[in-house]
Amino acid sequence: MKALRERAEAIDFDCREVEFVLRIAEEIERANLNHPVLYAGSGGDVEHAVVLGNELIFIDSHEPEITLNEIRSRIERMGGVVLREKREGVLGRGGRHEIEFDFFGRIRLIYYAEDATKFVPPEARDGISVYFVKVPHPKEPNVGSLSSPESLSRFLSLIVVGGFYLERECPLCRSLRPVDLGFVKVASGYISALSIYNVEGNLYKKVRDVPNLYELLKMDLAQKI
């Protein structure tokens, strides 16, 4: 995945986040993983996703057709070219929409309009290279938070050893140490998001599997409260 830094350099990111985004791209390129990237609560944020890998899974239940139009528009705006699209099933009922496009190499984006706190895409069940959450708070009233121990443990467990957790506003831990959960912090920095909170993003690398993640995250949350 040698194109990740090239993509990061080509996209017109907010000047405050350029350094952090370049560092993220470099770390993931160096890891050279072949599993997909899972972006929960993605909206149409293609720009940050394409510096993470070539196989992207977006999950966002909010206004699916508007989200897909935003994805297409952002691909075009950053200089990409849509090559083909395909839909299978009904969005919101387990169906998926696939967009293949070219931007410093071929990229496949699979979109699901499901509850990102519960739905595990079949493409992710054999492991993911990156789990990305930027704003964990739901847009839909019937959707939970991505920062809950149930949701977070489910998806952190899917990250392969050597893979990454990238977050803003969805902390890995509060009172425990990242290493207690099988991770080490690699970098921190500004990453843009539609949010009222002014917090940094964090990139963590998974160094080992931890079998009791849910119990640890639940304990971590309780200790903070």
Which range marks the domain in which residue 58 is found? 4-224
Is the distance from CB of 114 to CB of 94 less than 8 angstroms? yes
State pLDDT tens for residues 7-24. Answer: 999 999 999 999 999 999
What is the rounded CA–CA span in Å between residue 204 and residue 185? Answer: 4
pLDDT band for position 223 (cuts 50, 70, 90): confident
| Between 59 and 140, the higher pLDDT residue | 59
Assessment of whether the complete model's pTM goes beyond 0.75: yes
What is the rounded CA–CA span in Å between residue 124 and residue 114? Answer: 14
Look at the chain and report how many structural domains it folds into: 1
The continuous run of DSSP H or E covering 64 comes out as: helix 64-77
Q: Which amino acid is at 86?
A: K
Q: What is the CATH number of the domain that holds 220?
A: 3.40.50.150
Instruction: Give CA angle at 142 (139, 147), nearest 5°.
Output: 65
DSSP E strand boundaries for 122-158: 128-133
Ramachandran assignment for 58, one of left (phi > 0), alpha (psi -120 to 50 degrees), beta (any other): beta
DSSP designation for 104: S
State pLDDT tens for residues 167-199. Answer: 998 899 989 999 999 999 999 999 988 666 678
